[in-house]
Structure 1
Amino acid sequence: MVLGLQGQRTASVLHFLCCLWAIFALSHNIGLPQSARREREHTYGGHWKHLTFLNQVLQTILFVLCVIIDVVALCSSSHEKMISSLLVPVRDYIFSTFVFPVGLFVAVVFWGLYAYDRELVYPRELDEVNSVWLNHSMHTTILPLLFIELLVCPHKYVRKTKGIIGLTVFTITYLCWIIWVNYASGIWAYPVLGVLDTPGKIVFFSIAYLIVLMFYFLGRLLTKQLWGK
């Protein structure tokens, strides 16, 4: 698959629209009102202890980079090579190593747990705080954004070892963070962790890591099928 000038313009428009939506959804997540439960949750770590929020931040950063690269490519050809050499590797690494596997993980695991028992991940009392559209902006619309980016923009993957190390460091860092939040405040970022004993948590974390790693390899495979080398 190769993008001509018209394809580049189309990709630029899609990037711009995705960027606007990502910023809009992120800003509304930050501006959520606080019920009594959410006020307690905000006493330590705030939004930053939720993978959903971190994923929204990563997606927003990605699409901001995409828009910058597109604008320079279409409007300032003299600076395109310099900007591309600086930003394109960063864009590709963020998408391939973090945004695609983490975003897919958030959507699949959230709705999987929600279908099994929503109280484990999204208690009913949150319906009084979060509107339906806002819940979908955090856990559903992130999915089409991933595949739009996958389809309209070729991403160069780093070597598997570097990609796996980057994703593993991110995963371990996040797990250490939510464990620390619980140690410091007694708050689990997700209700499901509150009902599991220590062996159960270890199994849960291990399965979660294997799933996100599987999604990383899925992203590599899909990119190769769509764009070749």
Structure 2
Amino acid sequence: MLKVKDLSVSYGGIRALRGISLEVPEGKIVTLIGANGAGKSSTLRAIAGLVKTSGGTVTWDEKHLLGLPPEDVLARGVALCPEGRRIFPHLTVLENLQLGGYGCKNKAEVEAGVERAFDLFPRLKERSWQKGGTLSGGEQQMLAVGRALMSDPQLIMLDEPSMGLAPILVEEVFHIIAQINAEGKTVLLVEQNAFAALRIADYAYVLEVGEITLEGTGRELLDDPRVVEAYLGG
């Protein structure tokens, strides 16, 4: 289980996170929803070791993560698929995946990771020779997720995976997230598409200006009038 307690993050004089606490049980999908600037991405980046925290604790499987460099967080079984995909556009699909396996112990583990990605995303296998920058937006998102899965993490954190995608591709992305979870991965999902996120979430938190203001099961928040009005179009 991932346990975040009293987590605080500041950028200069701006408090991005104001002592938030949340839990992600093993094998579940937990989502964070909220407006731009609420602190959703800061939460994931703090857990991943990419931003300095000003207070709190983060543990995964009862092992402390705060203060570790990102590569050590990854080695503990926690991977981040960042907002905006962040693939390497001038490298091929295969090369992008292989770079995602930099933490693997040997070549066999890298090859196994590539095969897992190709099994999950057959389209990537068809385009393994193609430069990442020539892929469609949906294919680039598949590549970003496949790269994050290369180290076979127990917990995968997804930051806005549906951003900028056509509605039909958004549906495909959420189907893939559910499939990843069904295969045994724990998922912490940050999404602006609150309706799609809450539909697949076992549990959810609402972040507003760096604070958690609501929490409950995905179904409970889908039916909550405050969430409906603020995030689901009334």
Coarse TM-score class (shorter-chain normalised): under 0.3
The answer to which structure has the higher strand fraction is 2
TM-score between both structures, scaled by the size of structure 1? 0.25
- The structure with the greater share of residues assigned to helix is 1
Larger Rg belongs to: 1
Q: TM-score, normalised by structure 2?
A: 0.24
